[in-house]
Amino acid sequence: MCDAQYDPKVNVSFGQDTIAAAKAFLAVTIWALGEVTRPRELIQQAIGRAVETTHAPTLVNTYWFKASLDVLRGDADEALRDTTTVIELSRELGIANYLAMGMPYCSWARARLGDRETGSEGLQEGIAAITTSGIKNWVPFFQGLLAEIEAGRQDVEQALIRIDEALGLAQQTGEHWTDAYLHRIRGEILLKRDPANKAQAEEVFLTGMAIAREQKARSFELRAALSLARLYQSSNRAADAHAALARALEGFLPTPELPEIEEAQALLAALA
């Protein structure tokens, strides 16, 4: 039962308020599935509920999920604010797990805001601290974020190793929700390493799109399709680029919650 009027002591019997947790988790889930505007409303409802409960683990968990949504959306400013809240509350309340889980997002945000070296080092340290504690969930996502930063710093070989480690861990644990994302990043890194070898990157992008379609993860599919379309455009394969992008864009309307929609629409218009 998930009833706002239900006994609050029962609601937190699983370690956090079940209503706030359900809304927070749902926000991240439906964003990946392509329903990208509703998650912001859901996460704000979750935070409001968490504040009402005055239950510390619920509050920390909810802000951590909001930070997860910020990172998925690519909003470094909001991610930094929300992870700062997670880290400060975790330190104040002695919640070690969330302190560790908040550090990668904080470091990612700093890297995206310009401090790539410190951000990269912080992400490495954060991932190491998490894995040392025995936590494996979400680690493939963290590794993917780090690989993007490493590739941006021209450490391409290390970035490829990082992505392969992430995919290997996902295979080991069964946490496959980031597989499409990881394959897209792998394709981008392969292109950075060898721009002339477009066939290799094409195969990886197609794999990422296929996984996303199977999972109905439309936001991840669109991002992979956009990468593939750009590759096709650079290879004078306009028709292939248009076909890949048109299918992935179906049903999407421009929104800041997924900026790639507007980018994809502009590219699709240029390819017409």
Residue 180 is assigned to a structural domain of this protein:
no
Structure tokens at 144: 């993917």
Residue 62 is assigned to a structural domain of this protein:
yes
Mean pLDDT within 220-225: 98
Band (12; pLDDT cuts 50, 70, 90): low
Band (135; pLDDT cuts 50, 70, 90): confident
173 or 4: which leads in pLDDT: 173
How far, in whole angstroms, is CA 189 from its chain's centroid?
17
Residue 195, helix vs strand vs coil: coil
The pLDDT of residue 15: 64
**Eight-class DSSP state of 109:** H
Mean pLDDT within 120-142: 93
The pLDDT of residue 1: 39
Residue 13, helix vs strand vs coil: coil
Q: Which residues contact 243 (CB under 8 A, 6 or more apart)?
A: none
| 8 Å CB contact between 128 and 102 | no
Mean pLDDT within 245-272: 95
Give the integer Cα–Cα distance in Å for 258 and 218.
11
Give the tens place of pLDDT for each residue, 171-215. Answer: 999 999 999 999 999 999 999 999 999 999 999 999 999 999 999
Residue-number span of the structural domain to which 78 is assigned = 15-106
Residue 215 is assigned to a structural domain of this protein:
no
Residue 77 is assigned to a structural domain of this protein:
yes
Distance of CA 109 to CAs 13, 41, 116, Å? Answer: 33, 22, 9
Give the integer Cα–Cα distance in Å for 41 and 23.
10
Give the tens place of pLDDT for each residue, 69-116. Answer: 999 999 999 999 999 999 999 999 888 889 999 999 999 999 999 998
Q: Is the dihedral of CA 174, 150, 123, 181 positive or negative?
A: negative
Band (239; pLDDT cuts 50, 70, 90): very high
Q: What is the mean pLDDT of the chain?
A: 92
Residue 251 is assigned to a structural domain of this protein:
no
Band (224; pLDDT cuts 50, 70, 90): very high
User: What pTM does this model have?
Assistant: 0.92
Domain count, the chain: 1
Residue 239 is assigned to a structural domain of this protein:
no
Give the integer Cα–Cα distance in Å for 240 and 257.
27
Residue 26 is assigned to a structural domain of this protein:
yes
| 8 Å CB contact between 234 and 242 | no
**Eight-class DSSP state of 34:** T
How much is the CA Rg of the chain, to the nearest whole Å? 19
Give the integer Cα–Cα distance in Å for 44 and 58.
14
Given a cut of 50, whether residue 233 has pLDDT beyond it is: yes
The pLDDT of residue 16: 80
Residue 46 is assigned to a structural domain of this protein:
yes
